[in-house]
């Protein structure tokens, strides 16, 4: 049986753009693909999880991405954090955001999500980012519970477009020093 001790986490580089494009598309499709018409999903993945999109993200000095792998296998999870880009009125100039946190279902229960989250929170704190935000699909109760363990609370919502479909997303916020669960 694989355990979290065999899982490696490392900071992604521009050379990881292709790996993240494959992983990002797979993770998004696995988690949310059933919600969208195929053409909407294809368009979203082409725009948000292309190698070029990941290349731009990895070159952004205000953003950091980590990859989780188990053994010598392909990456099974990732985290992207950085400056907040959510549609928040009167957004604080130093606000940070958990942009994306995904672990493939075959590797859930290895604490990879928690390990990635802790690395991301440490990085955001070292960058002086405060407060912190995250956008979560309104029906993703498990993710909402996960973020609540780190002190995030719902403060609003917005529409997240995937093609012609617009999802209802909650905006969660937390202040102060990192709280460990």
CATH code of residue 14: 3.40.630.30
Does pLDDT of 90 surpass 80? yes
Q: Which residues lie below 8 Å from residue 126, measured CB to CB, with a gap of 6+?
A: none
Q: What is the mean pLDDT of residues 154-175?
A: 96
Q: Which residues lie below 8 Å from residue 49, measured CB to CB, with a gap of 6+?
A: 20, 21, 24, 25, 28
The pLDDT of residue 177: 60
Q: pTM (2 decimals)? A: 0.91
Residue 57: burial class (beta carbons within 10 Å; 0-12, 13-18, 19+): buried
Evaluate whether residue 163 is within a structural domain. no
Q: What is the mean pLDDT of residues 68-87?
A: 92
Confidence at 71, pLDDT banded by 50, 70, 90: confident
Lowest mean pLDDT among 11-15, 136-140, 173-177: 173-177
Evaluate whether residue 11 is within a structural domain. yes
Evaluate whether residue 112 is within a structural domain. yes
The pLDDT of residue 54: 97
Domain count across the chain: 1
Evaluate whether residue 178 is within a structural domain. no
Does pLDDT of 2 surpass 90? no
Evaluate whether residue 154 is within a structural domain. no
| 3-state class (DSSP) for residue 82 | strand
Residues 133-147 pLDDT 10s: 999 999 999 999 999
The pLDDT of residue 74: 85
The answer to whether 99 and 141 are in contact (CB under 8 A) is no
Give Cα separations from 97 to 70, 86, 162 (angstroms).
26, 8, 20
Confidence at 58, pLDDT banded by 50, 70, 90: very high
The pLDDT of residue 1: 39
Evaluate whether residue 127 is within a structural domain. yes
* Percentage, residues of the chain above pLDDT 90: 85
Domain that holds residue 21: 4-136
The pLDDT of residue 108: 87
Give Cα separations from 149 to 17, 84, 178 (angstroms).
30, 20, 11
Q: What is the mean pLDDT of residues 26-47?
A: 96
């Amino acid at each position: 049986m694989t355990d979290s001790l065999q899982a490696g986490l490392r900071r992604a580089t521009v050379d990881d753009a292709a790996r993240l494009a494959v992983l990002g598309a797979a993770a998004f499709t696995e988690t949310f693909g059933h919600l969208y018409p195929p053409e909407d999903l294809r368009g979203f993945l082409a725009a948000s999880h292309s190698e070029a999109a990941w290349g731009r993200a990895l070159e952004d000095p205000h953003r950091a991405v980590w990859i989780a792998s188990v053994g010598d296998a392909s990456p099974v999870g990732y985290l992207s954090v950085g400056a907040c880009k959510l549609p928040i009125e009167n957004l604080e100039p130093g606000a940070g955001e958990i942009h994306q946190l995904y672990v493939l279902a075959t590797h859930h229960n290895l604490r990879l999500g928690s390990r990635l989250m802790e690395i991301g929170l440490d990085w955001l704190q070292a960058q002086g980012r405060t407060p912190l935000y995250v956008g979560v699909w309104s029906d993703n109760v498990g993710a909402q519970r996960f973020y609540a363990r780190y002190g995030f609370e719902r403060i609003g919502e917005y529409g997240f477009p995937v093609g012609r479909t617009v999802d209802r997303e909650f905006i969660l916020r937390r202040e102060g020093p990192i709280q460990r669960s």
